[in-house]
A and B are shown apart, each in its own frame.
Chain A
Amino acid sequence: MPDLAIDVVDLKKTYRTPFTRRKVEALRGVTFQVERGHIFGFVGPNGAGKTTAIRTLMGLIRPTSGSATILGQKIPSRAARFKVGFLPESPYFYDYLTVSELLDLAGRLFGVPAALRKKRADELIERVGLDRARSQSLKKYSKGMLQRAGLAQALMNDPELVVLDEPMSGLDPIGRKEVRELILSLRDAGKTVFFSTHILSDVEAMTDRVAIIARGQLQDQGKPSQLVQQTILGTDVMIRIAEDADVAALTEAGERVRRRDDELSLTLPADADVDAWIAKAHAAGGKIVQITPRHETLEDLFLRRVEAAS
């Protein structure tokens, strides 16, 4: 039995709408496990139940049924929360505070001693790149800066488990890269990271395991490399050919045909004779620019699973 940081079993959450009292099933029996020391990606479309699941784990929402443990403690557990850092979705903080004051407040709530609080806050402010904005109130922060402040407050207790709800949201490409590096460095330091996201390339690049949720139910989970199909789905080809050349014979078997100036790109089906197509392209005066066998990506899998769920 692996050492689990999170163990969720048949978790359900049903809301009732305020006036009509209509039932809304936000979580419909979700089960998954996160091993200690792993980076776990939790992906799903908007309204899939990601945030509800995370808020339930963090004790913000009471589950209707099912059970969950965090670091071996049944939720909601104050003892477990001492060892968990949490970044809420689109974090809202007291906008009259500076980032130092926010981290001081977080540290006080975690019971971090005053001297260590100051030291850790200074380190984290530098680590998330807010050193130059430390004297500004959070009111003046951009969305990306708030996200960084949120990450810093989630790490004030030097947590064993970090739960991040959409940590890349609002960040520019540089910010995203920095957060990716931060998440990887947390794993290198032996911490467990559980995060939700829409950005599948991040999940593919970083996670040890991934779970796909749609319509309140888990659609798939496992290692990204095991989830996606390893068979070739097709071959992406690109050639350079005269603009006035007749390419009908080249495009008839292809999908996703695109022609721009002297460039022609398309995808040949998995069973196509690629060598024969290349010969035909040469005969028509084309020059091969690129030939890439196409495997299933996490995005393909994600779309397949979400479509199946709906």
Chain B
Amino acid sequence: MIGRIWAIALNTFREAARIRVLYGIIVLVVGANLLSIVLGEMATHEEARVARDVGLTGMSLFGSLTAIFLGVFLLYTEVQRRTIHAIVSKPIERWEFVVGKYLGMALVLSVLVAMFGIAMTGVLAIQGVAISAAVLKAVVLAWFEVLTVAAIAIFFSSFSTPFMSGIFALAMWVIGRLTPDVEAAARTASPWIRTLTRVTLEIVPDLHLFAISGRTLDGEHVSVHGEFVSWGYVGLSGLHGLGWIAGLLAIAALLFHRRDFV
């Protein structure tokens, strides 16, 4: 089982590594990190803050967008191009194929997040700022977010077209990121809007948990530039993400299991 999943994951990594758009995204994020040096110069004594903000935002934003892009295309194109025929006719379970696809994507996204992290660390080093535990925790949280978003995209891709999957996954990412703001806005709305909001937020992963910097946690303001969350919080958030990933992949595998490949 492990061997088959690993074979699919490795092949997916190879496939994704050939997508030129990814290299464009890397150039864009590294460029943004370098630009933060200039922006930092303009904001006196705030060089490190700007570098951290630009680095972490780039990681979360472009990491999640890449996760959506890969998630909606990589599974769909297997069916569309019929490459899947020569694969699922071999002794591999369909759920193993879905998990292998996800792990391959997760590997690519992990490399991307690592590259974005290295770019940010490099810029901070240029400014003579050592990487703090808070930044490291924020990077790990961003990584969890990207991996969760990839599972959302794969889930939609298991039954929908790339366009529709992209729209759904993007909407989930935005809502998931803004959960506290959506909740606050709904408090003053009509009862049925409040119910609709509550139901919607129940079926959307709490992605804001991974972008906690600048928000209030247990009555305390947390920031990557000052007092940040504990490693315990990071671990729990990771488990939360893992729960969503497992659930979404399980449903995706179930839907995929029922499909005819004509």
The segment from B58-66, B86-94, B132-140 that touches chain A is B86-94
The segment from B10-18, B27-35, B211-219 that touches chain A is B10-18
Q: Please, which residues of chain A bring their CB within 8 A of the CB of B260?
A: 15, 60-62
**Which residue of the partner chain A has the closest CB to B7?**
A108
The segment from B77-85, B166-174, B189-197, B242-250 that touches chain A is B77-85
Docked Cα-Cα span, A150 to B86, in Å, equals: 9
Asked whether any CB of chain A lies closer than 8 Å to the CB of B203, the reply is: no
Docked Cα-Cα span, A289 to B73, in Å, equals: 65
Q: Please, which residues of chain A bring their CB within 8 A of the CB of B258?
A: 62
The segment from A89-97, A236-244, A295-303 that touches chain B is A89-97
Q: A96-B15, A105-B11 are in contact. Are A88 and B89 (CB under 8 A)?
A: yes
Docked Cα-Cα span, A60 to B88, in Å, equals: 7
- Determine if A91 and B89 form an interchain contact, defined as CB atoms under 8 angstroms apart: no
Q: Please, which residues of chain A bring their CB within 8 A of the CB of B15?
A: 94, 96
- Determine if B91 and A81 form an interchain contact, defined as CB atoms under 8 angstroms apart: yes
Asked whether any CB of chain B lies closer than 8 Å to the CB of A153, the reply is: yes
Q: Please, which residues of chain B bring their CB within 8 A of the CB of A91?
A: 85-86
Q: A82-B91, A88-B89 are in contact. Are A94 and B83 (CB under 8 A)?
A: yes
**Which residue of the partner chain A has the closest CB to B1?**
A111
**Which residue of the partner chain A has the closest CB to B93?**
A78
Asked whether any CB of chain A lies closer than 8 Å to the CB of B184, the reply is: no
**Which residue of the partner chain B has the closest CB to A94?**
B83
- Determine if B91 and A111 form an interchain contact, defined as CB atoms under 8 angstroms apart: yes
Q: Please, which residues of chain A bring their CB within 8 A of the CB of B90?
A: 81, 86, 106, 109-110, 157
Docked Cα-Cα span, A86 to B262, in Å, equals: 15
- Determine if B4 and A93 form an interchain contact, defined as CB atoms under 8 angstroms apart: no
- Determine if A88 and B91 form an interchain contact, defined as CB atoms under 8 angstroms apart: no
Docked Cα-Cα span, A97 to B87, in Å, equals: 14
Q: Which of A55-109 contact B (CB under 8 A)?
A: 55, 58-62, 78-79, 81-82, 84, 86, 88, 91-94, 96-97, 105-106, 108-109
What's the nearest-Cβ distance from chain A to residue B97, in Å? Answer: 10
**Which residue of the partner chain B has the closest CB to A154?**
B86
Q: Please, which residues of chain B bring their CB within 8 A of the CB of A82?
A: 91
What's the nearest-Cβ distance from chain B to residue A297, in Å? Answer: 33
Q: A55-B261, A62-B260, A109-B4 are in contact. Are A93 and B89 (CB under 8 A)?
A: no
Docked Cα-Cα span, A86 to B82, in Å, equals: 14
What's the nearest-Cβ distance from chain B to residue A146, in Å? Answer: 11
Asked whether any CB of chain A lies closer than 8 Å to the CB of B3, the reply is: yes
What's the nearest-Cβ distance from chain A to residue B227, in Å? Answer: 48
Interchain CB contact (< 8 A) of A111 among B4, B86, B87, B89: B4
Docked Cα-Cα span, A106 to B258, in Å, equals: 23
Q: A106-B90, A109-B91 are in contact. Are A60 and B85 (CB under 8 A)?
A: yes
Interchain CB contact (< 8 A) of A86 among B6, B86, B261: B86
Interchain CB contact (< 8 A) of B3 among A81, A94, A111, A150: A111
What's the nearest-Cβ distance from chain B to residue A141, in Å? Answer: 14
- Determine if B89 and A59 form an interchain contact, defined as CB atoms under 8 angstroms apart: yes
**Which residue of the partner chain B has the closest CB to A90?**
B82
Docked Cα-Cα span, A182 to B46, in Å, equals: 72
Q: Please, which residues of chain A bring their CB within 8 A of the CB of B88?
A: 59-60
**Which residue of the partner chain A has the closest CB to B11?**
A105
Q: A59-B89, A109-B4, A109-B7 are in contact. Are A96 and B18 (CB under 8 A)?
A: yes
Interchain CB contact (< 8 A) of A105 among B7, B93, B261: B7
Map CB proximity to A onto B111-151 as digits: 1 under 8 Å, 0 otherwise: 00000000000000000000000000000000000000000
- Determine if B261 and A92 form an interchain contact, defined as CB atoms under 8 angstroms apart: no
**Which residue of the partner chain B has the closest CB to A114?**
B3
Docked Cα-Cα span, A61 to B79, in Å, equals: 13
Docked Cα-Cα span, A110 to B89, in Å, equals: 10
- Determine if A55 and B262 form an interchain contact, defined as CB atoms under 8 angstroms apart: yes
Most buried by B among A91, A96, A109: A109
Q: Please, which residues of chain B bring their CB within 8 A of the CB of A86?
A: 86, 89-90
- Extra pairs beyond A108-B3, A108-B6, A109-B90 (19, CB < 8 Å): A55-B85, A59-B89, A60-B85, A60-B261, A61-B261, A78-B93, A81-B91, A84-B89, A86-B86, A86-B90, A88-B86, A91-B86, A92-B86, A94-B11, A96-B14, A109-B87, A110-B90, A110-B91, A111-B3
The 3 closest A-B pairs by CB, nearest first: A108-B7, A109-B90, A88-B85
Interface residues of B (CB under 8 A from A): 3-4, 6-7, 11, 14-15, 18, 81-83, 85-93, 258, 260-262
